[in-house]
A and B are shown apart, each in its own frame.
Chain A
């Protein structure tokens, strides 16, 4: 018997013991990958599709014409879904202000299921970065946008297509690594 057939025979004896280890490694790899993902963040079904048709009135007391599909397009812009009762919205608001005031990006707001006086007081207190704000008191337009929690922020390109969706609170990292480069890229197109 040569050395190779001997080791082949040894391998054959070993594999029933190695198989469970192999199965464990494969399952473990999948589970480890699963731990790195946030199950509450769902991919938007609207990505790379035109923004939905909608028309919203202004928040009663805010001086604009509301917010509708016709306001999208022309240049890349952000659509920020917010509410005065939403705590992470308050936390991310300075970043939205920075994007609008310092970076010169058009930001439109979708005020989700909010009382008018609360929404206005919130803007007066924290600053108003929005060009237009639609008042979605019943949350019906939120459904058109696939909103399932506030805050959510969409990047809409010059053709009115949704190209990015941030679910949950905006962070400096997302602004610097995703939003700003993306807007830069869209502006060049």
Chain B
């Protein structure tokens, strides 16, 4: 237990830190429609300091700046796509948590399905080869085996003891 204590404390601190992050009340816009759009955008944008958090989840100063910037652009009349394009132009596509589908990302998007299909084909080939080889099925018992099986089954139905 004593050895575990530091780890437990760390876990506690960590969860506290995670809970503390995110959109601050003073950052929010008065217009609920724009604020809602800002929230949806904020969840799609990567915090570049912490990388695996969105800017809405992160407490990093740059994430706060980017949240403010997203709201500025929305108030100025940008569409959601224009806000994203503005940030991609400065930080690259890495800022998008959901990578766009482009020739360079085809492998990323299609990869899991390609692996699934290859696996399916491999299993299909294996099954077909096995049935083609004509392995004996469970029903194909010799008369001796059948007799033994019936004897065993009969034994099994007798009450215990």
Contact = CB atoms under 8 A, between A and B. Distances in A.
Interface in A19-44: 39-40, 42-44
A44 B92 contact: yes
Contacts of B88: 45
Interface size class of B (residues with CB under 8 A): 10 to 19
Contacts of A138: 65
B69 interface: yes
A113 interface: yes
A45 B61 contact: no
Among A40, A45, A52, A113, which residue has the most Cβ atoms of chain B within 10 A? A45
Nearest to A45: B92
B138 to A, nearest CB: 25
B90 A39 contact: no
Given A40-B51, A143-B69, A148-B49, A113 B90 contact: no
Contacts of A181: none
Contact of A143 (B90, B92, B93, B94): B90
Contact of B62 (A39, A40, A148): A148
B150 to A, nearest CB: 38
B34 interface: no
Interface residues of A, number: 19
Among B89, B90, B94, which residue has the most Cβ atoms of chain A within 10 A? B90
Contacts of A46: 90
A62 to B, nearest CB: 23
A172 to B, nearest CB: 26
B92 A148 contact: no
Among B61, B62, B66, B88, which residue has the most Cβ atoms of chain A within 10 A? B62
A149 B49 contact: yes
A144 interface: yes
A46 B89 CA distance: 7
Among A42, A140, A149, which residue has the most Cβ atoms of chain B within 10 A? A42
A139 B92 contact: no
Interface string A105-117: 0000000010000
A94 interface: no
B14 interface: no
B49 A43 contact: no
A159 B1 CA distance: 64
Interface in B88-118: 88-94
A124 to B, nearest CB: 26
A42 B69 contact: no
B48 interface: yes
Given A139-B62, A140-B65, A143-B65, A39 B51 contact: yes
Interface in A121-156: 138-140, 142-146, 148-149
9 closest A-B pairs by CB: A45-B92, A148-B48, A146-B90, A146-B91, A139-B65, A42-B94, A45-B91, A148-B62, A148-B49
7 contacts: A40-B51, A43-B92, A113-B61, A139-B61, A146-B92, A148-B48, A148-B91
